[in-house]
Structure 1
Amino acid sequence: MSIKTICYLSFGYPTIEKSIEMAGRYIEGGCDAIEVSIPPKDPYRDSAFLQELYRVALAQTDDYSKYLEGIGRMTEQYPSTEFFFVLYHEVIMAIGAEKLGEFCEKHHIVNVISGDLHDPEAIAALRKHGVKLARSVNYKMNEDDIQRCINTDGFTYMQAFPSEGQYVKPGFEELETCIRYLRERKVSEPIYCGAGIKSPADAARVKAAGGQGFFVGSSIIKLYDTPEKLVELIREYKKASQN
């Protein structure tokens, strides 16, 4: 049994048109879903690598209506592919939760990941349009994060592997332990794992630990200039998740 291969697309990097082209390459490689970000102006939660992608995109345009227009064209070009958003609170509020909800409903985008969206009115506006709000948890295993995962109607984004020097809650050093605990706590929606996945072997580790999907990002983004290698790498990730 395979698990879901989810490819990350930093929309607007290096241009909007290039992003749409890369989505096609992801699909050619066999990904099951594409996670789409719109660049925030204050990416305080992300790595230096992702911050640079956002900077390049925003240098092209900081008009979020142009990002939505491009994403809309992308979803229409690839209607059989599942797309979902990963968005900062800042971006959601800049677009407007109602407008974003309408966009998601029109383009069949069901899931939105936001690690810092806690505004009840914005959440209600999104849910009015059928959006499910995914929640995230990491190796700190913070109780507030766990409660949000229990209560949400979207999937749980579990950090795949801790970064060097990161705090890890004692007793939760292994991904399998974290996933098992979340299930014991009645997290009932799918658990997808991201961050720290650098090779197909890591995808196999996620599958062995009980994850139902995995996110791959930087390792394929770095191959944008060699699309044949990018497609082949995605195929290798997918194969590893099936064995």
Structure 2
Amino acid sequence: MDRYATMFEGLNEKNQGAFVPFVMIGDPDIDQSEAIIRQLIESGADALELGIPYSDPIADGPTIQAASIRALDNKVTVDECFALLKRVRNDFPEVPVGLLLYSNLVMAKGISGFYEKAADAGVDSILIADVPIREAGPFNAAAEEYGIAQILIAPPNATEETMEQIGEHSKGYTYLLGRAGVTGAETAANIPASELIERLNAHRCAPPLLGFGISTPAQVKDAITAGAAGAISGSATVNIIADNLDKPASMLAALGEFVGSMKAATQKD
């Protein structure tokens, strides 16, 4: 079952793009994290991109770093993250779920062993932030073995060679960077020209989702207008969690409102 293909097909029929929120599994603790993830789905998220807590997230800005620290302070483990994902998958069998994480987390359990556990938990895709395409061979092989889409990143200044490699190996979706640097809602995305998306399409890359710096419905709409298949919002989502740590009910309500407004912006004219 290719949940991404099914999702994109259904959205195309409704003339919509995808809205994909990111949160850190285990933030602020494992029980509240599960409630958050369920809220995101129930509020209209088309798919999820989820992090696993790590002590040195080099591609992330301070917001997502803080989310990792909160989870690690609560002793959240990789095995607990997979157990949570399995529970969510049982209740939401059709929603695509992707992981965005770092190579040390994968290699600590052995690449094949990690991908096997991910597949067993119902994970659809894995993006490893610190592994360039030229070093992705062992991860691609494990992804192929266990039926997981290995997500590749298309930077704003991607060369033709990079585009060719993405076209050859990408599955699920292509993570299109809205700007260079680390994650964060503080710096807005520079919505790429449609020319870049056209280049991805010319190389038959998996549908592009725009990420990094997406924090408002207007930015989601601009991404869709530029030709992206959807948008990913991480730091803006995580900021809502950080702002409501002592108010769990308010946190869930605010997350629901945010997802609803972002999803509404995916409707094409």
> Shorter chain as normaliser: what TM range?
0.7 to 0.9
Partner of 2:263: 238
Q: Structure 1 residues 138 and 119, CA, compared in 2 at 3 Å: closer, same or farther?
A: closer
Partner of 2:154: 137
Q: Which amino acid aligns with 2:94?
A: S
Q: Structure 1 residues 92 and 163, CA, compared in 2 at 3 Å: closer, same or farther?
A: closer
1:123 aligns with 2:140: yes
Ranges in structure 1 where 5+ consecutive residues have no aligned partner: 165-171
Deviations 1:158-193 (A, max 9, x none): 0124569xxxxxxx9833232122223x14311111
Asked whether the equivalents of residues 163 and 196 of structure 1 are also in contact (C-alpha less than 8 Å), the reply is no
2: CA distance, partners of 1:42 / 1:222? 19
Q: TM-score, normalised by structure 1?
A: 0.87
2: CA distance, partners of 1:161 / 1:204? 17
Deviations 1:6-55 (A, max 9, x none): 11121111111111100111112101111111122221111121111111
Q: Structure 1 residues 55 and 208, CA, compared in 2 at 3 Å: closer, same or farther?
A: same
Aligned ranges for residues 87-236 of structure 1 at < 5 Å? Answer: 87-117=101-131, 118-142=135-159, 145-154=162-171, 155-161=173-179, 174-184=192-202, 186-224=203-241, 225=244, 226=250, 227-236=252-261
Q: Structure 1 residues 148 and 14, CA, compared in 2 at 3 Å: closer, same or farther?
A: farther
1: CA distance, partners of 2:118 / 2:140? 13
Is the partner of 1:210 in helix, strand or coil? Answer: coil
What is the aligned residue count?
A: 235
Is the partner of 1:86 in helix, strand or coil? Answer: strand
Partner of 1:169: none
Pick which of 142-151 and 129-138 moved more.
Answer: 142-151
Partner of 1:82: 96
Partner of 1:168: none
Partner of 2:12: none
Q: Which amino acid aligns with 1:146?
A: M
Q: TM-score, normalised by structure 2?
A: 0.79
1:68 aligns with 2:87: no
Partner of 2:61: 47
1: CA distance, partners of 2:119 / 2:191? 39
Ranges in structure 2 where 5+ consecutive residues have no aligned partner: 1-14, 183-189, 245-249
Partner of 2:20: 6
- 1:66 Cα shift? 2.2
- 1:144 Cα shift? 5.7
Aligned-residue sequence identity (percent) comes to 22
Q: Structure 1 residues 81 and 119, CA, compared in 2 at 3 Å: closer, same or farther?
A: closer
